[in-house]
Amino acid sequence: MLALGKLLELTLAGREPAAKIQLTVEGARLRWLTEGALEITPPVASDCGLDLILSAGVHGNETAPIELLDRLLRAIARGELKPRSRVLLLFGNPAAMRRGERFVVQDLNRLFNGVHEQSSGFEALRACELEQLCVSFFAQPGRTRLHYDLHTAIRASKIEQFALYPWQAGRAHSRRELARLKAAGIDAALLQSKPSTTFSAYTYATLGAEAFTLELGKARPFGDNQMVNLDLLEQRLHAIIAGCEPEDDPSLDGLQLFAVAREVIKHSDAFTLHLPAAIENFSELPLGYLLAEDLGDTRWTVEEPGARIIFPNPRVHNGQRAGILIVPAGDVNLA
């Protein structure tokens, strides 16, 4: 197998490859760009016109998606998966991956869309570098742009595999993309309705890609992901890379759609989240439930019928989101 097919091994060892460019037997080019970043270019004659970014490890302890990208790359390097799409593989936070921790100094997935310019430290520099890698990769005009940023959640979820679909003013969410996700084993999608500072929000709103944050189960250490079944997603990514996707049923029956009702923002160290420590994502909350309190008279009480909670985390820094209240989306305008 080509040495560049061992990008994960190189990244975890903190090593730079001796050869920066290698060719597969079929003529696909693998090019090492920087730590944790590899560009795959198919032969010109077989290029299907898609530019695909696959990222994982933006949180260093979310290992199942990292292992998935490793399997895909090794299949390409061995010649078993023949790419017809251009692919940029990114391991987002190599230093955190080596530590087995979510981040080193600050949450990398809150530093995009300009936030890194007001910050400092390793993650701020890495966010800037990742943005520039994406800008360069998407520089060719007239091509389709797609980005999947793969994650696992801190806690268990009643709906284990779900997508967060970013927002941009004047742009409708895509029925075709949602149908593609449903076929890939995604059971729910949260349709966002405001700007965000996540990686997928950057490529969606700033670079015009179709982009998603995919949550794929619970975070576990390397080698301990037997309970995370990513077979359908892996099969779909094989097909996308190889340019041989089946035609999807345009019906979204079976895919649950949610909208953001409110974000719970932690303003001070006095913040209290009134939820069990082990509560699962997508847990329903009764009307009138006192969800959280902060300094003064700041209170979050559940007012929305059918409300559920995702990403509850009282340990975030002040000023950051400590949870999201979501509701069934109802009628949705899809392109």
Q: What is the pLDDT of residues 235-249, one digit of tens each?
A: 999 999 999 999 888
pLDDT at 1 > cutoff 80: no
Residue 330, pLDDT above cutoff 90: no
Residue numbering of the annotated binding site for Zn(2+): 59, 62, 151
Span 112-141, pLDDT tens digits: 999 999 998 999 999 999 999 999 999 999
Give catalytic status of residue 210 as yes or no: no
Stronger pLDDT, 229 or 125, i.e. the higher one: 125
Q: Which of 160, 210, 215, 280 is catalytic?
A: 215
Residue-level pLDDT at 332: 85
> Would you state the structure tokens that stand for residue 100, as one six-digit string?
């087995």
The β-bridge relationship of strands 308-310 and 321-328 is antiparallel
Contact in structure between 95 and 83 (CB atoms under 8 Å) = no
- CA atoms within 13 Å, Cβ hemisphere of 79: 8
The pLDDT tens digits of the residues spanning 20-57 come to: 999 999 999 999 999 999 999 999 999 999 999 999 99
- pLDDT band of residue 226 (cuts 50, 70, 90) is confident
CA distances from 95 to 5, 60, 117 (A): 20, 8, 20
The full set of domain ranges for the chain reads 3-242, 264-328
**pLDDT tens readout for residues 208-225:** 999 999 999 888 888 888
* Cβ–Cβ < 8 Å for 37, 88: yes
Mean pLDDT across 161-184: 96
pTM: 0.96
**CATH architecture of the domain formed by 264-328:** Beta Barrel (2.40)
Domains 3-242 and 264-328 agree in fold: no
**Binding site listing:** 59, 62, 151
User: What is the distance between the alpha carbons of residues 130 and 133, in angstroms, rounded to a whole number?
Assistant: 5
Q: Indicate the fold that domain 3-242 takes in CATH.
A: Aminopeptidase (3.40.630)
- CB-based contact 174:210 (threshold 8 Å): yes
